[in-house]
């Protein structure tokens, strides 16, 4: 993985593990000739993409990326774990899907099953931003988008086996002015 050390490795380190990390040596692994040596604006192209291409093509080895540094020094962000308590499943919106305007929670489908939430039922959905409730509706937990009328909010299971919320054929984020991150709490109950 070639990525900035700004928290992007948090889940990889926690769930998969990282045995070694290296800092990109920009004196060797940086695109030159684009007149961007003195800016950080194009790091995705000039540093990360360039280094990844050189590594993937075999031009450099992993050791040729740059010097190693301790895995313990990797920047990590807090991982907020979802909870099931008093018949309510609580978590956060962890990821926003920019292509469709859906919001993905940190709640695994297995926690919904443990709570007794089955496809086809309606759940009370509450969304809080900074502790303030800004959305409260009874919403279908659908097996797919086709089970909800066009324009309706639907709770579904995404490809990461996490609970997500969408507007069928619309943008949930845009319609309700919602976002994601640790301050975007979500709660489901029968």
Q: Name all domains of the chain by residue range, CATH numbers in brackets.
A: 10-73 (no CATH), 83-189 (2.40.30.90)
Task: Let me know: does 42 contact 26? Beta carbons within 8 Å.
Answer: no
Q: How long a stretch of residues is the chain?
A: 190
**Helix (H) or strand (E) run with residue 115 in it:** helix 109-115
The helices-and-strands tally (H runs, E runs) of the chain is 5, 10
Read off the pLDDT of residues 26-82 as tens digits, 9 standing for 90 and up: 999 988 876 777 777 778 888 999 999 999 999 999 999 999 999 999 999 888 899
pLDDT band at 15 (very low <50, low <70, confident <90, very high): confident
Q: Give the C-alpha separation, 58 to 51, whole Å.
A: 11
Q: What is the DSSP letter of 134?
A: E
Task: Look at residues 20, 21, 28, 23 and name the one whose alpha carbon lies nearest to residue 54.
Answer: 28
What pTM was computed for the model?
0.74
pLDDT reported for residue 96: 94
Query: Which residue is it, tokens 């004196």?
Result: 27
Q: Give the C-alpha separation, 162 to 99, whole Å.
A: 18
Task: Look at residues 93, 98, 115 and name the one whose alpha carbon lies nearest to residue 164.
Answer: 93
Number of neighbouring beta carbons within 10 Å of residue 109: 15
Read off the pLDDT of residues 152-164 as tens digits, 9 standing for 90 and up: 999 999 999 999 9
pLDDT reported for residue 33: 75
pLDDT reported for residue 77: 86
Q: Give the C-alpha separation, 188 to 181, whole Å.
A: 18
Percent of the chain with pLDDT over 90: 83
Tokens of 35: 């007149």
Q: How many angstroms from the chain centroid is the CA of residue 28?
A: 32
């Amino acid at each position: 993985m070639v990525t900035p050390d700004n928290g992007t490795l948090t889940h990889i380190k926690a769930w998969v593990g990282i045995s070694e990390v290296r800092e990109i040596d920009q004196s060797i692994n940086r695109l030159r000739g684009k007149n961007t040596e003195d800016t950080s604006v194009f790091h995705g192209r000039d540093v990360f993409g360039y280094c990844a291409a050189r590594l993937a093509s075999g031009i450099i080895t992993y050791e040729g990326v740059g010097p190693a540094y301790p895995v313990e020094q990797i920047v990590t962000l807090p991982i907020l774990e979802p909870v099931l308590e008093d018949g309510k499943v609580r978590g956060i919106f962890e990821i926003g899907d920019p292509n469709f305007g859906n919001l993905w929670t940190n709640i695994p489908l297995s926690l919904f099953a443990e709570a007794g939430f089955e496809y086809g039922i309606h759940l009370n959905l509450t969304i809080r931003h900074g502790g303030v409730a800004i959305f409260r509706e009874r919403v279908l937990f659908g097996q797919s988008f086709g089970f909800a009328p066009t324009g309706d909010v639907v709770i579904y299971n995404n490809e990461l086996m996490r609970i997500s919320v969408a507007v069928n054929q619309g943008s949930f984020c845009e319609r309700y002015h919602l976002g994601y991150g640790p301050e975007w709490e979500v709660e489901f109950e029968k």
